[in-house]
Structure 1
Amino acid sequence: MEETVEPEKTAASKPRTSIDGRKVVPQRMNTITAQRESRVTTKLAELNRVLGGGLVPGSLILIGGDPGIGKSTLLLQVSGQLAADHGTVLYVSGEESASQIKLRAERLGVADSGMYLYPETDMPSIMGAVDDLQPDYLIIDSVQTMNVPDMNSAVGSVGQIREVTAELMRLAKSKQITIFIVGHVTKEGAIAGPKILEHMVDTVLYFEGDMHHTYRILRSVKNRFGSTNEIGIFEMRQGGLTEVANPSEIFLEERLAGATGSAVVVSMEGTRPILVEIQALMTPTMYGTAQRTSSGIDRNKVSLIMAVLEKRANLLLQNQDAYLKATGGVRLDEPAIDLAVAVAIASSYRDQEIPATDCFVGEIGLTGEVRRVSRIEDRVHEAAKLGFKRIFVPKNNLQGWDVPTNIDVIGVTSVAEALHKVFGKRRAATKRPPITDDFE
């Protein structure tokens, strides 16, 4: 529990004003004029994609991510580009000195961009600097370090974060300043602070990735000006973040020829189809209870699919430890990955490889049926573009669109039928003793 002291209210109150500073009056809907917002495009096409086409003037954007993942690097790169081409940028840092930021800017090649640096945490001082400079873009790194002196609570507390964000929101809407806010995350990966922080801003972006890999994923989870669940792929290099134009090739370039337990899925991330390799390793359990371990795939989804395989496809998996992984550090959470997960598990269990030119799309129900998925046409065209020869899709998805001729689209109605078409009948010689698991 934390005590928050509310400021005393005076008897003289001002009339309520709208978010852009004007007095609020009731209006009929048919008298309100609306126009599509303008956009400012940066030199990072992946960032523009995630934001829905570019930066919207007057928007409030929150970026969260693990420490050291590259949030400040991304914003410093973008700030340098914006200062050079699109207006005045004020970079406020509550965690680093101006000399530290200058050293990073020299490494990123944006030291001569002309942006303003201001190492300060006091909000009245920051608001005064904004009034003096009249910037077009403002970066706050980070919101947890900012302080409102009128509040008697500690820096980083719920009350402080709420008040700081409210002031920044009023500033963005009243002066049409595009504001980026860096937010810390908790151990569970969520934005630290009150949930109202995410409700108040226009856009929430998560910067994800494995600290031991060079690839970073910028994911949109809330966007009032574009699609949610859109992602952008970057690679962290010595000179900063560079874009990955074709992430599917990156995720598939290290596939091992002839390996078992490897299946490729065409996943949709926002409006972008991405081909990702799903790997499965099935080994006999050494303990009383079989283990289920996954990386990049929901563990409960893995357990559900294995139960369906055991019940509907006659695979004896209850005494098998299962280890599954989505390669490249990407996280897959859409239903269309179910069929690829099932095929990868069956491939590892039976020690039979999947043809390298096959890929899979489909949701699996509890009765073993393969259910239709969205955006099937985009998925099939992306697989054909990367040279895949066969794609297994739900049979109900074969109607209402033109099937391309450069890839064989195979419709399946059940997971047992899909396994039979991929592997055929069980071979006599395997590394495991024969069991009753015919797919027919």
Structure 2
Amino acid sequence: MAKAQRRYVCQSCGSVSHRWQGQCADCSEWNTLVEEAAAVVTPFQAKHNLQSGGRSLTLVKLDAEIALPERMTFGIAELDRALGGGLVAGSATLIGGDPGVGKSTLLLQAAARLARSGRSVAYVSGEEAADQVRLRAQRLGLGDAPVQLAAATSTRDILTTLQGDPPALLVIDSIQTMHSDLIEGAPGTVSQVRATAQELIRFAKERGTAVVLVGHVTKDGSIAGPRVLEHMVDTVLSFEGERSHQYRILRAIKNRFGGTDEIGVFAMAGEGLVEVANPSSLFLTQRDESVTGSIVFPALEGTRPVLVEIQALVVRLASGATPRRAVVGWDSGRLAMILAVLEARCGLSFSTCEVYLNVAGGYRVQDPAADLAVAAALISALSERPVASDGIAFGEIALSGEIRPVAHAPLRLKEAGKLGFTRAMVPSGVAEAASIQLASFRNLGRFVDHMLGRG
């Protein structure tokens, strides 16, 4: 351990001496030198002091007249929407999804669109050979696109190849297969993924290349690898979908250049992923007649309203049996809260009933405005009174039974009106819509009375 150095400071002029003496050598005052403890300076501290020895940075004002980075649009409206208007030059984007959901297909289609517009695009695959990528491109009708392909896993080889002529877009499929010779360990380890992503992001910032990284996901659906990887990139996209359904949802989780929670909707077809201009048509069934336990909810994803059908089934059990609660597409804890409020505030009994809740089409709802629609479906299923087929419902339910207003109510009503819905059960205070008849409610008790026809 380093030994603390002694120093003597003159209380009159502040002069510092390394030994005590009766008279200060600078101001000639007597008996003013007092011993003080000096800071311990070790060789490590002297070598690693970051307050000096660096290069001076150029600070720019916020209102400086500097050309901002341009956006590159792919011509795929759903992808550009999820990105907030397109890719920004020099940005890093991470896209994750389950195996086989269509990540590579979507990126190959986007790369081909961008290459056909005249920009240079490089596609590096660490999981497939270049010929395999070309076969998939021919199957999708993209064989003539001027995309530069390579099959490599060495980060040093990739950056050395692109150093002289950096492309406008670089796709890495996937980041878990890349390897850096500066770090020991197999590809896919935490240290390798972090080091490789850092080198690729540095290349993107220095050369103005937009880098898109494909990431694997874990069993629970989160992106595999270190959590810091999501903080390093500028945009994080999640590609969701199930094999049993043809639709795919591209959801923006993080975006430094646009709004979050934006979605793009695609449908898997023989020629690849096809844009869906009207996502509500995917999640709504033919509603020719009213059915108990079914109601339409206008969910809001970013700036886009999506109409989904919420279905509920209530089965009465014999006394003594344990009731079951099953939820698909919604939060099970939220369902338990709605059931508790209906029992405590409205006198409806679900304790002897099995409750099943489903969001049609495999869609997952995260909007808190779905509380009122779920309550309507549960009340309809319990009382066996159908809801009007041309009606919707939205609103947030508090534990006190109050029905609270939600954001963007006019946008939800406008989308419902375009699809032919004429009635809406909403919280009080919602402005009147031109083509939709509103039924406003302040608390859940009055809503239950309306659903059961009690005035």
- Does TM-score exceed 0.5, indicating one fold? yes
- Distance of aligned partners of 1:90 and 1:285 in 2 relative to their CA distance in 1, 3 Å threshold: farther
2:218 to 163, 183, 186: 186
- 1:436 aligned residue: none
Distance in 2 separating the partners of 1:14 and 1:73: 47
How many aligned residue pairs are there?
Answer: 408
Give the counterpart letter for 1:417 in structure 2. R
Match of 1:229 in 2: 261
Query: Secondary structure, in 3 states, of the residue corresponding to 1:345?
Result: helix
Tell me the distance in 1 between the aligned counterparts of 2:441 and 2:48: 71
The CA deviation at 1:36 is 4.8
Q: How does 1:295-306 map to 2 (within 5 A)?
A: 295-306=328-339
- Aligned-pair RMSD on alpha carbons? 2.3
Deviation at 1:86, TM superposition (A): 3.8
Output the CA distance in 1 between the equivalents of 2:56 and 2:422.
61
Cα displacement (A) at 1:288: 3.7
Structure 1 residue 43: deviation in Å? 1.8
Of structures 1 and 2, the one with the larger relative CO (CA 8 A, separation 6+) is 1
Which residue, out of 323, 331, 336, partners 1:290?
A: 323
Alpha-carbon contact 2:410-2:433 (below 8 Å) kept:
no
Query: Distance between the aligned counterparts of 1:337 and 1:63, measured in 2?
Result: 28
- After TM superposition, give the deviation of residue 414 of structure 1 in Å: 1.4
Q: In the superposition, relative to structure 1, how do residues 89 and 349 fare at CA in structure 2: closer, same or farther (>3 Å)?
A: same
**In the alignment, which residue of structure 2 is the partner of 1:420?**
449
Measured at CA, do residues 31 and 276 of structure 1 come closer, stay the same or move farther in structure 2, by a change above 3 Å?
closer
Residues in 2 aligned to 1:327 and 1:172: alpha-carbon distance in whole angstroms: 41
The answer on whether the counterparts of 2:380 and 2:451 sit within 8 Å (CA) in structure 1 is no
Task: Output one character per residue of 1:134-192: Cα deviation in whole Å (capped at 9) or x when no partner.
Answer: 21110000000000012111210110010011111111111110111000000011000
Aligned to 2:172, the other structure's residue is in SS state strand
Structure 1's unaligned 5+ residue stretches are: 1-10, 426-439
Shift, 1:24, TM fit: 5.4
Residue of structure 2 in register with 1:370 after alignment? 403
SS at match of 1:273: strand
Instruction: Tell me if structure 2 keeps the 8 A contact 1:65–1:71.
Output: yes
- AA partner of residue 348 (structure 1): A
| Candidates 268, 272, 282, aligned match of 1:240 | 272
1:261, 1:353 within 8 Å by CA — same for their partners in 2?
Answer: yes
Match of residue 309, structure 2, among 261, 274, 277: 277
Structure 1 contact 278–327 (Cα < 8 Å) conserved: yes
The CA deviation string for residues 366-422 of structure 1, in whole angstroms up to 9 with x for no partner, is: 111100101111111111111111111110334xxxx22211122111122223223
Residues 1:335 and 1:98: Cα distance change in structure 2 (over 3 Å): same
* Aligned ranges 1:72-91 → 2 under 5 Å: 72-91=104-123
Contact residue 107 and residue 239 of structure 1 kept, 8 A: yes
- In structure 2, the CA distance between the partners of 1:120 and 1:314, relative to structure 1 (3 Å rule), is same
Do the aligned residues in 2 keep the contact of 1:231 with 1:270 (CA within 8 Å)? yes
Instruction: Look up the match of 2:19.
Output: none
Counterpart CA distance in 1 for 2:192 and 2:164 is 24
| 1:405 and 2:437 are equivalent in the alignment | no
What is the aligned partner in structure 2 of residue 390 from structure 1? 423
73-82 or 253-262, which moves further after superposition? 253-262
The structure whose Rg is larger is 2
Q: Distance in 2 between matches of 1:15 and 1:245?
A: 55
Tell me by how many angstroms 1:253 deviates: 3.5
Q: 1:91 to 1:12 in 2, by over 3 A?
A: farther
Superimposed CA distance per residue, residues 247-297 of structure 1 (whole angstroms, 9 cap, x where no aligned partner) = 112211444733211111111100111111011111124774322111110
- Give, in whole Å, the separation in 1 of the partners of 2:217 and 2:439: 43
Aligned: 1:265 with 2:297 = yes
Shift of 1:15: 11
- Higher deviation after alignment, 277-286 or 165-174: 277-286
